[in-house]
């Protein structure tokens, strides 16, 4: 697999992870505040799961090298900007 293809794959995965991650930030905060269906513990469990998955993905990217880690992190930030843009 070529390096450029792998980096673009990491960038796309980072965007997808960023979109899901920051959408789940809103869902977990709604659960913790009692706005949605569920409660405080479900919101805390969702937050912990969100952080664990992000940590696992970033650790996997770090083992692949600096390029994939940077591409994944950039994609994660792009996903963040997209979710914040849609929220306003």
- Which residues are CB-neighbours of 59 under 8 A, at least 6 positions away? none
Nearest-CA neighbor of 54 among 34, 75, 27? Answer: 75
pLDDT digits (tens, 9 = 90+) for 53-82: 999 999 999 999 999 999 999 999 999 999
- Tell me the whole-structure pTM to 2 decimals: 0.87
Within-domain flag for 1: no
- Residue 88 confidence (pLDDT): 65
**Structural domains in the chain (count):** 1
Q: Is 80 part of any domain?
A: yes
The pLDDT tens digits for 4-37 are 999 999 999 999 999 999 999 999 988 888 876 7
For residue 17, is it within any domain? yes
Query: For residue 40, what are the contacts with CB-CB under 8 A and spacing of at least 6?
Result: 31, 32, 34
Pair 50, 21: CB distance under 8 Å = yes
Q: How far apart are CA 24 and CA 49, in angstroms?
A: 10
């Amino acid at each position: 697999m070529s390096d450029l293809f792998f980096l673009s794959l990491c960038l796309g995965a980072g965007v997808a992870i960023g979109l899901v991650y920051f959408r789940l930030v809103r869902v977990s905060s709604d659960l913790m505040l009692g706005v949605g269906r569920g409660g405080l513990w479900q919101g805390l469990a969702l937050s912990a799961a969100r952080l664990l998955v992000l940590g696992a993905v970033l650790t996997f990217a770090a083992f692949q090298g600096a390029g994939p880690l940077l591409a994944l992190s950039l994609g994660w930030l792009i996903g963040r900007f997209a979710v914040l843009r849609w929220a306003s």
